[in-house]
Structure 1
Amino acid sequence: MWRAVSLAGWVLLVTATWAAEGEAVAFDTAADLAGWQAESGDWAVQDGALLQSDAGSSRSVLWRPERAWSALDLSVEFFIHPVGEGVRAPGVIVHAVDQETYYYLHFDLKNSQVVWVRSAPGREWTDARRHKVRGLRAGAWQTARVACRDGEHRVFLDGDLLFTEKDDTLKGGVVGLRAGQGRIAFRNLRVEGEPLVLPTPFRVQVAPFHVVCSDAGAGAYEAFPDLCRTSAGELLCVFYAGYGHVSVPRPGLPNGARIALCRSTDDGRTWSPAETVVDTPIDDRDSSITPLANGDLLVAYMSYDPQRKPGTHQVFTVRSTDQGRTWGPPERVPTPFTGNEAVSEPAREMPDGRLILPLYGRMAELPKARSMVGLVESTDGGRTWQTLALIRSERYELTEPSLVRLPDGRLFMAIRPTMTWCESTDGGRTWTDPAPMPIDGDAPYLLLTSKGVLLCGFRHRPTRSTCVISSTDFGRTWSERVTIDRVMGAYTSLVELPDGRVLVVYYTEGHGSDIRAVALRAPHGMP
């Protein structure tokens, strides 16, 4: 006999007698993982406990998708290994309806807090309530407990009640474990509650990615990739290789971060070991690569100093005439900016042979002005550059522009951070005022496929995920957001493969960040 109960606008079935049932999992053998499914992270039973060993991942999740509960009481022991510099946060997920809709307890060691979170589609931390706590520590087993009944959530640590929150949005769902930026172990999980059947089975979707590079030899932090297909049919991926998000020179890495390259001859299924493209005595970053009609390869990148000293934020190119086997010396790119200048997206070659390189930066004489976009062009294959246009906005910061040429000759540009867009009908000399796109995102990347579908890859900060949207009318309207992977590094780059699929590369962020690749089915970007 079953009884209907409302669940966030849906209907679920629970036993009419409301009989409590339980489940206990020790996690001391591999057999205890039966019925659990990893969404992300490196989960395995080791030394008599369940260990999530990827200390760099900000969102490692393990689900129990086949059993759902309401009015539950869950406890689990956790052990925070004293390694890494992140928040090192074990977590407990309850009442999950899908991978975006759930309650979550985030035990944040670094900030001495426990965060009660309700997540919803489109925004991972829809409601986050922070509580400062004492007693969280590394190197010792501790016990977390959460009891949810009638919209009341009681949270305990080592038997002591920390706080009570009230929220009745979600009446029940599956449970999960989570680790954030830490090497976290779990054991002795116990759940008691009222079993229920969700109206839609809980399905764990995992990004079908290949790893391009996890360690280029500079500290195992890889980021900001860009991808191209050469005239010989190879895929080349250039990226930032360092030890952290900013990698200034230090002992063992005297030049700081460098620009590295991996290559694939099988459409992205396997990748070569990393090679060095350029390594100057400063942090080299945000590289992009353009295959030119004459067979040359042009990599644009910028130098960076966290103290932002004058002359340290500059744009350069390096050139290869042998399919990326060797590279010439860095060449400075003159820009219209008198303050700091930057680049993050590739130069685009026009049908008339011009190269247009989108940049962004500031004017030293206007310290309070917003960041603006500049375009430089070259008529000699990137050996010399002249300013083509300067785009300003009174309403928006303009950074990290991506450029694409449309079939009718218009140039379309998407710009971080709002995202905004603008277009030019005269080859890039004048532009419309930047206007907001229908979704916010960071570091957009544009690709026009052979089928005439305009794709935009980006980082979606509200869900901390890597996403893509598509347009069949050249940017007038856009599809709903499609999640490629639930990692927040992004800085996507897209290339169409010979079979019509689109390969997307992006990075994961956090200590040990790597470069990943996912192939999408054309035309709408669905993985």
Structure 2
Amino acid sequence: MLFRVRMFCPTMNRLLLAVLTAFPVFAFAQTNAPAPSGDAPTIPVERHAAITGQGYFPVAIRLHDGRIAVVMRGGAGHLGLAGRLDMIFSSDEGKTWSKPVVVNDSPIDDRNPALGVAKDGTIVVGFWRTATYDDAGKYSPKLTDKERSTWVTRSKDGGQTWSEPARIDVSDIELGSPFGRMVTLPDGAMLMAIYGYQVRPAGEKLPGDRNHSYVYRSTDDGQTWKRLSEIGDGKQQLNETALERMPDGRIIAAMRSRAGEVWLSESADKGSTWSPTKQLTPVNVHPADLCVLPDGRVLMTVGNRVGPFGMLGIVSDSRGLFDWEKRFALVNDALGRDCGYPSRIALKDGRVLTLYYATRVKNEPAWKEHCGAVIFTPPAR
């Protein structure tokens, strides 16, 4: 396919179609000035709370035994030294959920998980650990003399017990925060998105550090990781990146920019190099997750912090072209911008389960802070 970019030029008030022929890549729609999200139509959904009282930053994956696992934050709200990582499970396609199992709980803030399953079935969780809180317990990222470290822990018994965390060396990007669902390739290699600062000699400080989106690779079932590549040209500020492997082997990526947009890229060589990035969403619509549907189209779910707050979806056409005007609302009653972070699972009956978090929602006030589950059928072609 050609890299198709659908653009809106407000000064000319007409649609332009640019076709980039550098190499065959996935076709993405991009809008220079995407419309606000408040007018997105709703579609029918089944909705329930997977867990209440916690649930920030959920990441979902299908285990080899058929269960669905979701790692999430517990112990604290969006920020807090008491933050830990928990995991819940569903054996009935997301209808009911287990009580949480603790994945990791150190004396400082454990947060920002990534989740994967190795080729041998081992569950792998990457995460960030930070002590950058002042004496009053307030988060203060300028306290760079305090610990900021990146770790991985693994479970070989289906998530009931977890290994002692092993540190991932991110010293050449100063700090590294994992994100989203890992990709396991047919050869067993695993890819994990980690964002941090510009590459430099370990320990060196650079002025004006910016967010950069990297792909890290493991060839030993998630035990050790090394930086493989960077997505983007290094000039953009990109972070929270969703990865998805296409049936033909290409990997697509959806990155959050510092402005809060979602930008898209793809790799035709197992994550070693990446196409130029293209914008899809407006400001404050982020971050995204990706899902290849049985008919080959791609579903993107994305947090909506424009309003009404919640979660949006958009499905590509058969050519792989996203049209932002065809977005739809999955959740639109969150009572605040602290919401979203969707993570999806393709269900056995053809529907899609998407997890999200919110601090409060209008239609279910008793849920308060929760990780919600939405089950829906993506719109037809």
Q: Which TM-score band (shorter chain)?
A: 0.7 to 0.9
Aligned to 1:485: 331
User: Following TM superposition, by how much is the alpha carbon of 1:259 offset from its aligned partner in structure 2, in angstroms?
Assistant: 0.6
Query: Shift of residue 410 of structure 1?
Result: 1.8
Q: Tell me the alpha carbon deviations over residues 17-42 of structure 1, each in whole angstroms, 9 at most, x when there is no partner.
A: xxxxxxxxxxxxxxxxxxxxxxxxxx
Alignment of 1:129-208 (within 5 A): 208=46
Equivalent in 208, 212, 219 of residue 50 of structure 2 = 212
Cα 1:205–1:347 change in 2 (3 A) is closer
Matching residue within 264, 286, 294 for 1:442: 286
Task: Provide the secondary structure at the position in 2 that maps to 1:413.
Answer: strand
Aligned to 2:166: 331
**Residue of structure 2 equivalent to 1:465:** 310
Q: Which whole-Å CA distance do the structure 2 matches of 1:459 and 1:375 have between them? A: 22
Choose which of 350, 353, 376 in structure 2 pairs with 1:503: 353
Q: What is the CA RMSD across the aligned residues, in angstroms?
A: 2.6
Match of 1:451 in 2: 295
Structure 1 unaligned regions, length at least 5: 1-119, 125-202, 216-220, 249-255
How far does residue 206 in structure 1 lie from its aligned partner after superposition? 8.5
Question: Deviation per CA, 1:128-149, whole angstroms, max 9, x where unpaired?
Answer: xxxxxxxxxxxxxxxxxxxxxx
CA contact under 8 A between 1:336 and 1:387: conserved in structure 2?
Answer: no
Between the aligned partners of 1:498 and 1:406, the Cα distance in structure 2 is 18
- Alignment CA distance shift 1:243-1:369 (3 Å): closer
Matches within 5 A, 1:256-275: 256-275=82-101
Distance 1:387 1:322, change over 3 A: same
* More strand by percentage: 1
Q: Which residue of 2 aligns with 1:345?
A: 180
Q: CA deviation at 1:281?
A: 1.3
Residues 436/283 of structure 1: CA separation in 2 closer, same or farther (3 Å cut): same
- Unaligned residue ranges in structure 2 (runs of 5+): 1-34, 133-138, 199-203, 361-366
1:431 aligns with 2:274: yes
Q: CA deviation at 1:473?
A: 4.3
Determine the C-alpha separation between the residues in 2 that align with 1:240 and 1:272.
Answer: 15
- Number of the residue aligned with 2:110: 284
Q: Which amino acid aligns with 2:316?
A: S
Secondary structure in structure 2 of the residue aligned to 1:477: coil
**Kept after mapping to 2: 8 A contact 1:227/1:288:** no
Q: Do the aligned partners of 1:491 and 1:507 also contact (CA within 8 Å) in 2?
A: yes
CA 1:406–1:311 in structure 2 vs 1: closer, same or farther (change >3 Å)? farther
- Which residue in the other structure is 1:243 paired with? 76
Query: For residues 231 and 317 of structure 1, do their structure 2 counterparts lie closer, same or farther at Cα, with a shift above 3 Å needed?
Result: same
Q: What SS is found at the alignment partner of 2:55?
A: strand
SS of the residue aligned with 1:326?
Answer: coil
Instruction: Find 2:369's aligned residue among 513, 517, 520.
Output: 513
Q: Is the 8 A contact 1:411 1:428 kept in 2?
A: yes
Cα pair distance change 1:386/1:214, threshold 3 Å: same
C-alpha separation in 2, matches of 1:205 and 1:452: 21
Q: 1:204 to 1:354 in 2, by over 3 A?
A: closer
| Residue type at the aligned position of 1:282 | I
Residue 229 of structure 1 is aligned with which of 47, 58, 62? 62
Q: 1:132 aligns to what? A: none
Distance 1:369 1:455 in 2: 33
**2:349 aligned partner, one-letter code:** D
Inter-partner Cα distance in structure 1 for 2:91 and 2:195: 34
CA distance, structure 1, for counterparts of residue 66 and residue 170 of structure 2: 32
TM-score after normalising by structure 1: 0.56
